[in-house]
Amino acid sequence: MAAQTRANVFHRLIWASRLGVLLLVIVVAVSLDASSSSSHRNDVRQQWQEKTDEISLKLQSAILQNIQTVWGLAANVAIQPDIDGQRFRELASVIFSLAPELRNIGLAPDFVIRHVYPLAGNEAAIGLDLTAQSLSQDQIEMLLNTRRVVFTGPIDLVQGGQGLAGRVPIFEQASGDFWGVISVILDLQKLYSSIGLDRLQDDFNVAISSSADVNDTQSVFFSTRPFQWEDPVTSTIRMRGATWVVFAEPVGGWPNHPSQPWIFRGSLFAMLVIVSGAVFWLTSLMSRDREMQRRLWGLFELAPMGIGLFSVTSNRLLRANPTFENQFGRSVQTLDFFDQPLDVHGEPLANRPGVQETLREHARLSGLEGYFMTPGQELAPVMLHGLQLDDDGNEPVVWLITEDISERKKVDHLKNEFISTVSHELRTPLTSISGSLGLLANNAVGELPEKASKLAHIAYRNSQQLTFLINDLLDMEKLVAGKMPFRSEHHVLQNLVHESVENIATFAQQRDIHLQVAELPAVTVHVDRQRLNQAITNLLSNAIKFSPAGSSVDIFASQRGESVRLCIRNHGEGVAPHFREHIFKKFSQADSSDRRASGGTGLGLAITRELMARMKGTVDYESVPGEGATFWLELPVAG
């Protein structure tokens, strides 16, 4: 019930995460779209601001350029304060040719206009007192203090239209006294035409006002068309005595999005689909992985074999299934428990690589047998299988499978007893048969015909082979049962090796194999002479059988700290990698067909392993397929 509840919660979390990510992507997409629209709007406003500043600058430049031409007249009057009308008209005509936007020029000593050019249409200006009509007291003080032109406008002209009045102050050069002003009227319509305001694009709405308030329509004196302003860009023209503000805005208002928004929005939609699809796919993988984990944990809990999960870093047990706990109870807390397996008598297995050492070298182990103490303080045979996982970014762990092989051992025991009984029962009559066949084959009872002699030799050879098989079976049975006697003594390794080589030399000659013995270290080992000779002979026999004719078998040794390793190398086909797990088991042969090239019972290496274990040694090999194999016996050096 709890597992189902956890599964339901996980399922809800998956859907919640999917919806959460979908909403997040939608919010991000909307935000990006709004940001893009805002950025585009700001870009357009910036472009319009530049255009408005350009209009403002052109208008101000045109005004100042026209006023600049009048300063020449002011300089003449400052030198000749008593200038007459004829001289004024001559100079004014030159100025008008240089400044086409001028409407008229008036000469006003003491602020009263005495001369006007052109006179036609401007007669009413003669005698006009500027202080009473257009100049305020502040503007008069500004003229006298700054000695710079002061503007007034826009003003409505009597002749029609609008103008901008500029008053240029004149001070007599000789005395420095104030003489009066030159009154200049600029035609605003001509100014607008000169800077192109009458030729703007249809979507360009511009207005010029003497007020900074865009809604103050009374102050607007120029506009391309009637318009309801929203949020125009502005540019200010500041002149002494007058300040104008230029307003500009697109006719259709500011854009809310780019001209082709669906390109960007289509990209956002594609991103939404891709991210949502990726999240859905990943969460589906997570759901399937979760379901697979749930099923695996179900198998873990119900597995008939013990399964333990260990940390490589701390070496401690992380989790175990019920079968594992039933096998070992609470006695297993670390992986060290399995590093010292026992034999059937409760003695530690000598010179046997531990679980951790094997995993460090090969990252896996399989078929490692030993006896371990159960919660009831009884020895139980267990077969170990292990795998070390070193995932990047995760804590390395070891999966250890413990298989209870008690029933298999019982079956093996019954089988061994049966084989032992049969072997004992066959041994006596087989000895008599083999002896009789030997006498017949050697003509001890008279010479046999050639055909009969050949058959006798075949029968004798096969009886000998059967005798070897029965002897091997009996030896194996004695070793397993612990009934084989061992008389260990100190022996020089060189002597034992040479003795074994001499014993098998005839067999090597029959196979056309050269036995090549290298110089051996002068070490002493504590072993049973007969049993070590048997182990060496087994390895030599196998090396000869699996070597091609005409090749050699190399025998050499090396001392490795407190142990010595005797190596026997052949140059045959080598051992297939998949056969490593079976090579030291009983009746194991790489080629088990009835047409195999090399004979044998498949018990030699199994017997050798048991012999070496009883003498506190080990047997192992290394092989590269196609390049032969090197088997070795490793024994502790006698102190």
Answer yes or no: are the C-beta atoms of 628 and 618 closer than 8 Å.
no
Q: Are residues 94 and 223 in the same domain?
A: yes
Task: Read off φ and ψ for residue 216, nearest 5 degrees.
Answer: -80, 85
Q: Is residue 412 part of a domain?
A: no
Q: Is residue 561 part of a domain?
A: yes
Indicate the range of 51-55, 131-135, 586-590 predicted with least confidence. Answer: 586-590
Q: In what order do the strands lie in the sheet with 220-223?
A: 220-223, 204-209, 242-250, 233-239
The model's pLDDT over 462-499, given as tens digits with 9 standing for 90+, comes to 666 666 666 666 666 666 666 677 788 899 999 999 99
pLDDT at position 454: 75
pLDDT reading at 561 higher than 90: no
pLDDT reading at 594 higher than 50: no
Residue among 200, 219, 212, 242 at smallest CA distance from 55: 200
Answer yes or no: are the C-beta atoms of 114 and 129 closer than 8 Å.
no
**What integer is the mean pLDDT of 191-219?**
86
Q: Are residues 221 and 73 in the same domain?
A: yes
**What integer is the mean pLDDT of 41-53?**
90
Total number of domains in the chain: 3
pLDDT at position 36: 81
Residue 170 is which amino acid? I
Q: Say how far apart CA 609 and CA 475 lie, in whole Å.
A: 12
**One-letter-per-residue 3-state SS of 139-199:** HHHHHHHHCCCEEEEEEECCCCCEEEEEEEEEECCCCCCEEEEEEEEEEHHHHHHHCCHHH
Task: Report the CATH number that the domain containing residue 81 is assigned in CATH.
Answer: 3.30.450.350
Q: Say how far apart CA 634 and CA 350 lie, in whole Å.
A: 12
Q: Say how far apart CA 483 and CA 467 lie, in whole Å.
A: 20
Q: Say how far apart CA 273 and CA 281 lie, in whole Å.
A: 12
Q: Are residues 243 and 331 in the same domain?
A: no
Q: Say how far apart CA 349 and CA 331 lie, in whole Å.
A: 20
Q: What percent of the chain has pLDDT over 90?
A: 24
Q: Are residues 396 and 508 in the same domain?
A: no
Q: Are residues 244 and 322 in the same domain?
A: no
Answer yes or no: are the C-beta atoms of 114 and 95 closer than 8 Å.
no
Residue among 202, 259, 198, 255 at smallest CA distance from 230: 255
pLDDT reading at 553 higher than 90: yes
Residue 349 per-residue DSSP state: P
The model's pLDDT over 429-468, given as tens digits with 9 standing for 90+, comes to 767 776 777 677 777 767 777 777 777 777 766 666 666 6
pLDDT at position 595: 39
Answer yes or no: are the C-beta atoms of 554 and 568 closer than 8 Å.
yes
Tokens matching residue 315: 């070496």
Please return the burial class of 303, using the count of CB atoms within 10 Å of its CB with bins 0-12, 13-18 and 19+.
middle
Axis crossing angle, helix 261-302 with helix 2-79, rounded to the nearest 10:
160
Last residue in a domain, options 370, 404, 438? 404
The model's pLDDT over 373-405, given as tens digits with 9 standing for 90+, comes to 888 888 888 888 888 887 666 788 888 888 888
Q: Say how far apart CA 180 and CA 168 lie, in whole Å.
A: 9
pLDDT at position 356: 83
Instruction: Identify the residue with better confidence: 200 or 484.
Output: 200
pLDDT at position 55: 92
Hey, is 238 helix, strand or coil? strand
**What integer is the mean pLDDT of 130-147?**
87
Helix (H) or strand (E) holding 624: none
Tokens matching residue 373: 């103490």
**Cis peptide leading into residue 261 (ω within 30°):** no
Beta pairing class for 242-250 and 233-239: antiparallel
Residue 264 per-residue DSSP state: H
The model's pLDDT over 406-426, given as tens digits with 9 standing for 90+, comes to 888 787 777 767 666 665 666
Q: Say how far apart CA 315 and CA 360 lie, in whole Å.
A: 13
The model's pLDDT over 72-126, given as tens digits with 9 standing for 90+, comes to 889 999 999 999 989 999 999 999 888 889 999 999 999 999 999 998 888 888 8
Last residue in a domain, options 250, 282, 315? 250
Last residue in a domain, options 206, 226, 250? 250
The model's pLDDT over 540-549, given as tens digits with 9 standing for 90+, comes to 998 998 899 9
Q: Are residues 566 and 498 in the same domain?
A: yes
| Alpha-carbon separation of residue 199 from 65, 253, 473 (angstroms) | 21, 20, 119
Q: Is residue 522 part of a domain?
A: yes
Which one of 282-296, 350-364, 411-425, 484-498 scores highest in mean pLDDT? 484-498
Q: Say how far apart CA 552 and CA 569 lie, in whole Å.
A: 9
Q: Say how far apart CA 353 and CA 618 lie, in whole Å.
A: 9
Residue among 548, 630, 31 at smallest CA distance from 271: 31
pLDDT band at 633 (very low <50, low <70, confident <90, very high): very high
Task: Report the CATH number that the domain containing residue 309 is assigned in CATH.
Answer: 3.30.450.20
Residue among 537, 539, 529 at smallest CA distance from 500: 537
Q: Is residue 258 part of a domain?
A: no
Tokens matching residue 324: 């594992």
Please return the burial class of 443, using the count of CB atoms within 10 Å of its CB with bins 0-12, 13-18 and 19+.
exposed
Answer yes or no: are the C-beta atoms of 312 and 400 closer than 8 Å.
no
Q: Is residue 619 part of a domain?
A: yes
**What integer is the mean pLDDT of 302-321?**
87
Q: Say how far apart CA 461 and CA 444 lie, in whole Å.
A: 17
Q: Are residues 246 and 313 in the same domain?
A: no
Q: Is residue 393 part of a domain?
A: yes
Task: Report the CATH number that the domain containing residue 495 is assigned in CATH.
Answer: 3.30.565.10
**Lookup result for tokens 């969460």:** 283
**Cis peptide leading into residue 449 (ω within 30°):** no
The model's pLDDT over 505-531, given as tens digits with 9 standing for 90+, comes to 988 998 899 999 998 888 999 998 888
Helix (H) or strand (E) holding 576: none
**Residue environment code for 146-161, b if the CB has 16+ CB neighbours within 10 A, otherwise e:** eeebbbbbbbebeeee
Q: Are residues 208 and 355 in the same domain?
A: no
Q: Is residue 556 part of a domain?
A: yes
Answer yes or no: are the C-beta atoms of 81 and 179 closer than 8 Å.
yes
Tokens matching residue 53: 């500043």
Q: Are residues 631 and 529 in the same domain?
A: yes
Residue 335 per-residue DSSP state: G
Q: Which domain holds residue 370?
A: 303-404
**What integer is the mean pLDDT of 156-179?**
89
Q: Say how far apart CA 365 and CA 522 lie, in whole Å.
A: 35
Answer yes or no: are the C-beta atoms of 178 and 50 closer than 8 Å.
no
Q: Are residues 572 and 492 in the same domain?
A: yes
Answer yes or no: are the C-beta atoms of 618 and 529 closer than 8 Å.
no
pLDDT at position 3: 59
Q: Is residue 571 part of a domain?
A: yes
Task: Read off φ and ψ for residue 600, nearest 5 degrees.
Answer: 135, 165
Which residues fall within 8 angstroms of residue 382, CB to CB, at 6 or more apart? 327, 341, 369, 370, 371, 372, 402, 403, 404, 405
Q: Are residues 90 and 212 in the same domain?
A: yes
**Lookup result for tokens 């709007």:** 41
- The string of DSSP letters for 25-75 reads HHHHHHHHHHHHHHHHHHHHHHHHHHHHHHHHHHHHHHHHHHHHHHHHHHH
Mean pLDDT score across all residues of the chain: 83
